[in-house]
Structure 1
Amino acid sequence: MTMQELNKVKQIHTNFKQSIWLDFIDRQIMRSGKLQQLIDEDGIRGVTSNPAIFEQAINSSADYDADILEYAKADSDPEHIFFRLAISDIQQAADLFAPVYNEEVSGADGYVSLEVSPLLALDESRTIEQARELWKKVDRENVMIKIPGTLSGLPAIRTAISEGINVNVTLLFGLERYEAVANAYIDGLEDRLSAGLDISRIASVASFFLSRIDLLVDPLLDDKDLGEMKGEAAIAAAKAAYALYIRVFSGERWDKLALAGAKPQRLLWASTGNKNPAYRDTRYLEELIGPDTVNTAPLATIDAFRDHGTAGATLDKGTEQALYLLESLARSGINMEEVAEQLEKEGIQKFEAPYQKLLQAISTKIHQ
């Protein structure tokens, strides 16, 4: 089979060693065989979930109603019911991806992510407490617990890694915080290694959110008559993050951990569904394809790429131009760290709102 004949989505991993994960989960996609089809035909290698995805799944179908009513007989707390539902789905998905996880390079992929409550985003102690609880209840080697990369989340990430919990760090928008997250991961590995514990089976990704960056920065560029730079900030930030990744996961400090079997914390491109119709709908996949990274995309974006995407090695191209563009933004008065702070606050709110809506929906289904 030639490269042209190979499924376009599958080309990304087969030819360029980037893993494509699906940013979606519900019971229908698993029961219908659609998720297995995505694994077999598109080479999908993992799944991410978040409160908004579960809210959509539970609130827009009757698939969960019987379980909600059954669980409510023993405990009617909507949050407790939600996590029972979510854990069941995550376990089922993790089992579907077990063959991917158990491939020749064991643990390279096949992960399914479950997020701690977004209401805990700024609470370090309760975040780590819930991460431990979810890790234990899901009871699958190929699960990742999502912890937000807030300042409060950093020590929780370090603790979770030191305890052998796989972590998907979410809500990253800026380079400064990304570097802090990468170092929290390394700190956690060092803590674990110094305790005489195995670090070879721990995996982590750092989820760098993209489309929301352009959504915020583009109007600022219009205000400054810099329209020619629109749509470039997120890709530039991602390329700069990749350059940071290469630097952080090399050198003497990292080499010591690598000798003990540690795997780098891969960068994961998130929020890759294009939110601006003026841009190509596959751009956040096409422009960031590179080895040992992950792109988690919604189903519509995967379908679009299968139809008309172009797979090629793009991530390590144009790094100097990307850094120059970020410098140009700074010179024009656009502070990307301030942008990242604003997006983090908005991101927490964007997850809190559907989570509250989800809990309300469960409560309504119990009492209707």
Structure 2
Amino acid sequence: MSNLKELAAAGQAVWLDFVDRKFLAEGGLRKLVAEDGLTGVTSNPSIFEKAMGHGDAYDEGFKGVLGKGDATAKFLYESQAVQDIKDAAADLRPVYDELDGKDGYVSLEVSPGNAMETAATIEEAHKLWKAVDAPNVMIKVPGTKPGAPAIRQLIEDGLNINVTLLFALDAYQTVAMAYIEGLEARAAKGEPIDRIASVASFFVSRIDSVIDKKIDERLGAGDKDADALKAVRGKVAIANAKVAYAWYQDLIAGDRWQALAAKGAKPQRLLWASTGTKDPSFPDTLYIDTLIGPDTVNTMPPKTMDAFRDHGTVAQTLTQDVEAAKTVLAEAERLGLDLQGVTTELVVDGVKLFADAFDTLIKAVGEKKTALTSELVKG
């Protein structure tokens, strides 16, 4: 059995953090579903920017829209992104049907520029949901403070939501409760809650990248706590994730969740994102090997997926050494590594990175529009 299929047997869904037109047209997604048990796909502006701005796979699609009248670069992008998401949803629909809605999802993100605007996020999420018009689409909403009330409302409205850019336990707890409150409000109106799905995307490797850089700087300066710093290097992000999962287990065991489960509600699964290893001194499958457990998702870049297929190790690691994980976090605090400050800054940086990537994407599509419009005029 494929290592990736073994992950599914261990309760963890395998999702791909990549989608583009050429990959879909060549049957790449269907191949991963058949051979590796893939059950989901995530997209983001950076992925679309590379595909739309620097290749020709989307040129015919752009021309088709331009041929019907003038269109903004953003409208061009959305028209093609929505088509890709529709195609990916169609490829994953057999998975969705076979698993009775428990998986088989493809995610499309609201504009990062709306990350700090509750009302704008709700409005755009509904627009994208309607545009894709597939039961197995998830709309990605940043887990910012203004994002939480948007998530609650969108769940009440019956949308599937992928909460993105989560780094800290308290931020995750806030959106987990927003999911529950949305389901409760929906159920109170007598509306069904058994076909609504959500994931909470917890970013992993970015935490270690920042924390480990702090550690290396202190080690280079001859810090008196050198041994203690070395002992937690490369371990903080995994410890953070394990503690979040332990909280999730307590949550779904509680009466409040069980009342919703009795009405058919699906748990909001933790999804491990940013799972490509940034530090070459660490194993390239580190953030998969160490975070395997039931009711979770790991969304992997293609390179990381290939690595795990080749030499990953499957074991129930997420619930192992939770006390040791708490010790790592306590040590990080004692050593002044400021995990809370790091995660707060990572949310800000994450929103900016996605917003910058989105701006670059729209600029690239605008340049494509100019070139293709010129072709159409000449042709």
Shorter-chain-normalised TM-score: which range? over 0.9
What SS does the corresponding residue of 1:96 show, helix, strand or coil? helix
Q: In the alignment, what sits opposite 2:83?
A: 88
Matches of residues 103-114 of structure 1 in structure 2 within 5 Å? Answer: 103=98, 105-114=99-108
Q: In the alignment, what sits opposite 2:31?
A: 37
Q: Deviations over 1:133-158 (max 9, x none)?
A: 11111000000000000001000000
Residue 161 of structure 2 is aligned to residue 167 of structure 1:
yes
Structure 2 unaligned regions, length at least 5: 372-379
Residue 81 of structure 2 is aligned to residue 78 of structure 1:
no
Runs (4+) off by over 4 Å: none
Q: Which amino acid aligns with 2:75?
A: H
What SS does the corresponding residue of 2:158 show, helix, strand or coil? coil
CA RMSD of aligned residues (A): 1.0
Distance 2:243 2:198 in 1: 20
Distance 1:156 1:310 in 2: 38
Q: In the alignment, what sits opposite 2:257?
A: 254
Q: In the alignment, what sits opposite 2:327?
A: 324
- Displacement of 1:319: 0.6
What SS does the corresponding residue of 1:113 show, helix, strand or coil? strand
- Displacement of 1:17: 1.4
Deviates more, 1:55-64 or 1:148-157: 55-64
Q: Deviations over 1:94-118 (max 9, x none)?
A: 0000111011x40111000000001
Q: Which amino acid aligns with 1:332?
A: L
- Displacement of 1:33: 1.6
What SS does the corresponding residue of 1:171 show, helix, strand or coil? strand
- Displacement of 1:269: 0.2
Contact 1:145 1:168 in 2 (8 A): yes
Q: In the alignment, what sits opposite 2:374?
A: none
Structure 1 unaligned regions, length at least 5: 1-5
Q: Deviations over 1:150-185 (max 9, x none)?
A: 001000000000000000000000001000010000
Percent of counterpart pairs with the same letter?
48
Q: In the alignment, what sits opposite 1:234?
A: 237
Deviates more, 1:167-176 or 1:64-73: 64-73
- Displacement of 1:72: 2.8
Distance 1:348 1:20 in 2: 25
Residue 354 of structure 2 is aligned to residue 351 of structure 1:
yes
Distance 2:107 2:312 in 1: 26
Contact 2:53 2:368 in 1 (8 A): no
Residue 200 of structure 2 is aligned to residue 206 of structure 1:
yes
Distance 1:263 1:206 in 2: 13
Q: In the alignment, what sits opposite 2:96?
A: 101
Q: In the alignment, what sits opposite 2:274?
A: 271
Distance 1:253 1:290 in 2: 23
What SS does the corresponding residue of 1:112 show, helix, strand or coil? strand
Contact 1:182 1:248 in 2 (8 A): no
Distance 1:253 1:126 in 2: 30
- Displacement of 1:69: 2.7
What SS does the corresponding residue of 1:97 show, helix, strand or coil? helix
- Displacement of 1:80: 1.3
Q: In the alignment, what sits opposite 1:50?
A: 44
Q: Which amino acid aligns with 1:10?
A: K
- Displacement of 1:298: 0.5
Q: In the alignment, what sits opposite 1:3?
A: none
Q: Which amino acid aligns with 1:117?
A: S
* Number of equivalent positions: 361
Distance 1:233 1:295 in 2: 18
Distance 1:219 1:301 in 2: 22
Deviates more, 1:270-279 or 1:143-152: 270-279
Deviates more, 1:197-206 or 1:331-340: 331-340
Contact 1:75 1:81 in 2 (8 A): no
- Displacement of 1:227: 2.1
Q: Deviations over 1:200-233 (max 9, x none)?
A: 1000000000010000000222315312211101
Q: In the alignment, what sits opposite 2:148?
A: 154
Q: TM-score, normalization: structure 1?
A: 0.96
Distance 1:333 1:125 in 2: 38
Distance 1:306 1:177 in 2: 32
Q: Which amino acid aligns with 1:162?
A: E
Contact 1:176 1:337 in 2 (8 A): no
Q: In the alignment, what sits opposite 1:177?
A: 171
Q: Which amino acid aligns with 1:8?
A: N
Residue 134 of structure 2 is aligned to residue 143 of structure 1:
no
Residue 5 of structure 2 is aligned to residue 7 of structure 1:
no
Distance 1:312 1:113 in 2: 27
Q: Which amino acid aligns with 1:358?
A: L
